Structure 1
Amino acid sequence: MQSPNLNNVKIDVEYCGACDYGGHCLDLAGVIKKTSPDANVTCKRGRQGSFEVKVNDKLVYSKLQTMALPDYEEVADVVNDVTQGAEPRQIKGQQPINCVIS
């Protein structure tokens, strides 16, 4: 008999298409899959300037608030912790800004 599968963590990423963040979402998904291969990562084109990361429907990172992309390793750590039964927590680490819309 199998125990409940905590590994099926859901990660939804809303990204800015104008900034070409789709590739960043795929990169983030790759980093997450290294430590949590069963995680379900969904990339969705969304609002201008966005890179919003939700883990199990809880917003853990917002580029609209921080004006920077998240640290992918920290996102992967949070997802891995959630697969172990922890609650999703806020991402603090950031990457340099690489898209400016005027």
Structure 2
Amino acid sequence: MEDVVVEVEYCNKCGYLLKFEELKKHVADHHSIVTVVGREGRRGSFEVKINESLVHSKLQTLAYPDYNDLGNLIEDAKNGKSVNRQCKQQPITSCAIS
């Protein structure tokens, strides 16, 4: 089993700290021996990397990552596979266009 580090850059001004904490809890509940680190970053960001490979960008998709698919990518990384695809995204449900 390989060491896996999940890094999340999030915008605290947008209230994404709570989403980071939710993601961190989900990973901890479903995946052993995974390090999850977060840091406040760019406005509107919720960028997720697994072992330094970008797997999700809210700046690009306007959505959050799908936690189950993120789990699949984490398992791939734990098994020594390269993480070379984008994570699926959660449906966007709170979008308002003005």
> For this structure pair, what is the TM-score category when the shorter chain's length is used for normalisation?
0.7 to 0.9
Task: Provide the C-alpha distance between the structure 2 equivalents of 1:79 and 1:95, rounded to a whole number of angstroms.
Answer: 21
TM-score normalised by structure 1 residue count: 0.82
Cα distance change on mapping 1:12 and 1:99 into 2, 3 Å: farther
Cα distance change on mapping 1:27 and 1:99 into 2, 3 Å: farther
Cα distance change on mapping 1:99 and 1:16 into 2, 3 Å: farther
Residue 97 of structure 1 and its aligned partner are, at CA, apart by: 5.4
Residue 96 of structure 1 pairs with residue 96 of structure 2: no
Residue 56 of structure 1 pairs with residue 51 of structure 2: yes
1:17 is aligned, of 9, 12, 18, to: 12
Residue 34 of structure 1 and its aligned partner are, at CA, apart by: 2.5
Cα distance change on mapping 1:50 and 1:10 into 2, 3 Å: same
Opposite residue 90 of structure 2, the aligned amino acid is: Q
* Residue in structure 1 matched with residue 24 of structure 2 by the alignment: 29
Residues 41-84 of structure 1, C-alpha deviation per residue, up to 9 Å, x if partnerless?
Answer: 00111101000000000100000000111111211221122111
Residue 76 of structure 1 pairs with residue 66 of structure 2: no
TM-score normalised by structure 2 residue count: 0.85
Query: Unpaired runs of 5+ in structure 2?
Result: none
Aligned residues: 96
Query: Unpaired runs of 5+ in structure 1?
Result: none
Task: Provide the C-alpha distance between the structure 2 equivalents of 1:19 and 1:27, rounded to a whole number of angstroms.
Answer: 15
Task: Provide the C-alpha distance between the structure 2 equivalents of 1:17 and 1:99, rounded to a whole number of angstroms.
Answer: 19
Residue 38 of structure 1 pairs with residue 2 of structure 2: no
